[in-house]
Amino acid sequence: MIASGIDFAYPPENAALQERIAADQLLIAEQPPGTEPLARHFPSRNRVIAGLSHGTVVVEAAPRSGSLITARRAGDYGREVMAVPGSPLDPRAQGCNLLIREGATLIQSVDDVIEAIGSIDARMVREPAQRFDMAIPSAEAGEDDRSAIAALLGPTPVAVDELVRQSGRPPAAVQLVLLELELAGRVERHAGARISLL
């Protein structure tokens, strides 16, 4: 899964690897062709990765990193969240240690990962009972959206669904604004899909 259009290789030195994956495996891009990789596309890409995966393993993460956002998204989707512990003196391990403290599975080897997610066999993969064709909502957010959603936030945690209801904005736009605020270090996520200002 890449955070740009299918015709961009990022970082450029991975162009040959990306081409090989596209030829031999599967390369997925949510952004339309011609879209350059921008910082705001990475959290969106990571939410798809978290949703497609049986579990997420975080190896190193600073307290405010994209890896923690991905892990929290995986938890929201009911996926297994796993983390490799590290020294409490190492800032790169603080995020993993925080995840473990919050209930993530402690991982020390690949055997721990296999134990946590179980085996995957053909019986777990099935065709959907019916096909769902639906329009994909736009994930763009304008300044009006940002202002309206930020005005609804305060120090008391509020449910994301409530923000959607009160703001009257599309859920995709609300989620994008919340991701932008989280990356800027202005909000904190809480259990139960709730969020508050820092």
Cα(38)–Cα(183) distance, integer angstroms: 13
Q: How confident is the model at residue 135 (pLDDT cuts 50, 70, 90)?
A: very low
Neighbours of 89 (CB within 10 A): 7
Question: What amino acid occupies position 169?
Answer: R
Cα(115)–Cα(78) distance, integer angstroms: 17
| Residues 192 and 156 grouped into a single domain | yes
Classify residue 171: in a domain, yes or no.
yes
Q: How confident is the model at residue 82 (pLDDT cuts 50, 70, 90)?
A: very high
- How high is the pLDDT of residue 16? 93
Looking at the chain, how many residues does it have? 198
Q: How confident is the model at residue 127 (pLDDT cuts 50, 70, 90)?
A: low
Is the CB of residue 193 less than 8 Å from the CB of residue 76?
Answer: yes
- How high is the pLDDT of residue 132? 42
* CATH number, domain with residue 47: 3.40.50.450
Task: With a cut of 50, say whether residue 136 has pLDDT above it.
Answer: no
Distance spanning both ends of the chain, measured CA to CA: 31
Which range of residues forms the domain containing residue 172? 143-197
Reported pTM: 0.57
The dihedrals phi and psi of 159, each to the nearest 5 degrees, come to -70, 140
